[in-house]
Amino acid sequence: MVIDNVSLHHGGRIEALIESSGCNVIYLLPYSPDLNRIETCWAWIKSRVRKLLRDSYNLREAIDTVLKEATS
């Protein structure tokens, strides 16, 4: 089974369950936004949304504002 590198996937119950079913665990490469333009774009959007949320925007308004900014 191919799974991502979230820390809770390493060791512990999830890995044991997968292996007990007769499967091998294969981890994806570590996350790197430099290798993926989509991840870089989402990181930009999330950072802008977080900044707006500090100024008491609600989540929907913050996302709407950031997406309008990104498309203008």
Q: Are residues 40 and 69 in the same domain?
A: yes
Residues 71 and 36 in one domain: yes
Instruction: Give the confidence band of 33 by pLDDT, cuts at 50, 70, 90.
Output: low
- Which residue would you say has higher pLDDT here, 53 or 12? 53
Q: Are both 69 and 37 inside the same structural domain? A: yes
Strands (E), the chain: 2-3, 26-27
pTM: 0.51
Count structural domains, the chain: 2
71 in the same domain as 36: yes
15 and 41 in a common domain: no
Q: What is the pLDDT of residues 36-52, one digit of tens each?
A: 777 788 889 999 999 99
Same domain, 37 and 7: no
